[in-house]
Amino acid sequence: MQLGFFISGGAGQMMQNRLDSISNNLANASTVGYMEDRTAFSSMFSSKMGREGIPDNTSAAHLSMNTQYTSIEPGSIRSTGGEFDFAIHGKAFFRVQMQNGTEALTRAGNFQIDAEGNLKTQNGHPVLDNNGSAIQLPRGEVSATKNGTIFVNGDPVTELGLSMLVDPRKIQKSEGVLIHTPKENVAPADNSVSVHHHSLEESNVNSVLTMTEMIATTREYESMMKTLENYNQQASLLNDRVGLVQG
C-alpha cells in the first residue's frame, strides 16, 4: 500500500513539473532566442518489492524523479530589417556581461543601443566583442559581415563575441534567454558559425507539438491522481475494518 502511494504520488508530482515546464515553453513560443526546457524521465527496476522474507523474482518498474534540461537546438531565422538585429547560424552564442561582471550566453540577438552608443540586450546587459569588452558604436549606418564584424559607415569598428559550448549539458538558464556555464565549458566559435544581420532567431518551441504534449501530460496527470485517490480510499477502508470484530 505504501509503495503504491509513493509511486503514484511521485509520478503525479513529476507530471505536474512537466506541465509547468510545457506551460512556460508555450508562453515563450514567440520570444526571440528562447530555448525550450525539456523534462527527462528514467525507469527504476526492483526485484525486492514483495513481502519481507518472501523472495520475489518478478521485476517491477516505476519512474524515477525527473530531471530538466535546456534544448539548444536552433530556431528558425527570419528577416526583420532591424539595424541592431542579429541571428546566429550554427551552434554558437552571443557573449553578454551580467551586472556582477560575469559572462552569460544568449541566442537572442534583438539588441538595442543606448544614448552613449553601447550595444545592449533587451534587459540592458552589455553585448561583448571577441575580446570580452563591451561594444560601443559611433553614430552612423551599421552593417555586418557573416563573421560578426560590425561596420559603421563602411569602416570596421568591432567584432561580435561568439562562443560555443564544449558540453551542452553543463548549462543553467536565467532570465528566459540567457544561459550560464563554467568558463572551461566555453570555446571560441569555429568556421561553421555565421552571423545574419537584419535577422532574428525565433524560439525553438514547436507550438503544435508542445500543445499535443500538454494534452497527453494532462491526461497522465489526471490518471495518476485517480490512482492516488483509489489508494487513499483503500487505506481508509483498511483503517476502518482492521480490528473490527464480526458478530
pLDDT in tens, 141-173: 999 999 999 999 999 999 999 999 999 989 999
pTM recorded for the entire structure: 0.76
In this prediction, residue 228 has a pLDDT band, given cuts at 50, 70 and 90, of low
Mean pLDDT of the chain: 83
C-alpha cell at 60: 517491477
Contact at 8 Å (CB) between 202 and 75?
yes
- What angle is formed at CA 240 by the lines to CA 239 and CA 246, rounded to 5 degrees? 125
Report the C-alpha gap between 64 and 44 in whole angstroms: 6
Q: Select the highest-mean-pLDDT range: 18-22, 187-191, 230-234.
A: 187-191
Rounded to an integer, the average pLDDT of 70-93 is: 96
Closest by alpha carbon to 188, among 243, 130, 148, 145?
A: 130
Contact at 8 Å (CB) between 163 and 187?
yes
Closest by alpha carbon to 201, among 123, 86, 67?
A: 86
The pLDDT of residue 214 is 84
Cα 124 from chain centroid (whole Å): 21
Residue type at 115 in one-letter notation: A
